[in-house]
Each structure stands twice: as C-alpha cells, then as structure tokens.
Amino acid sequence: PSPRSCLPHGANEEALRYEIEELKRKDLALDQEIAQLLTEGYSLEELEKHISLLHEYNDIKDAGQMLLGKLAVIRGVTTKQLYPEYDLELSD
C-alpha cells in the first residue's frame, strides 16, 4: 500500500487536492514561460525541437552514467574516480 492509503480518508482527499492545486500552479507557470518565449521570437516548433533534443541528451547521458557506474563496480572504484580518466568534469 502507498503511504497515502494509510492516511484517514479526509487527509487523503486533502493531500490529493493539494497535489492537484500544485500541478495547476506548475501548469500555469509553464504556460507563462512558453508565452514569454513566444514573445521573444521563438516558434512553438523550435521549442518542441529543443525539448526533444534535451530528452535525447538526457537519455544518452543516463546511458553513459549507467556504463560509468558499471565500470566503476568492475574496477572497485567510485564513479567520481573515473571522471579524470575520461576527461569528464563533475558537472558533466
């Protein structure tokens, strides 16, 4: 069972209401950010392309991190110790 299922029924509903309101606030903030970018001259297609490229970048970075982690386990070192060997910055 999820932690919410252990809550009294009223508390569970209140938590859901709060979560819904929080999502609505985030949605509004994103709409405002998109509107701002559009007024700055960005096109919706360009923004969608950037988002797609960011997803692709994150997927590739995740795969690289996973491989680095497996290599660290095999060598018995930390991932951080492998960074200099591959000319990686800790911020990478």
The set of residues, in sequence order, having a beta carbon less than 8 Å from that of 83 and lying 6+ positions away, is 89, 90, 92
> pLDDT by residue (tens digit) across 19-45?
999 999 999 999 999 899 889 998 888
30 token code pair: 């994103």
Per run of 10 residues, the mean pLDDT along the chain (length 92 residues) is 56 88 96 91 88 95 94 94 89 71
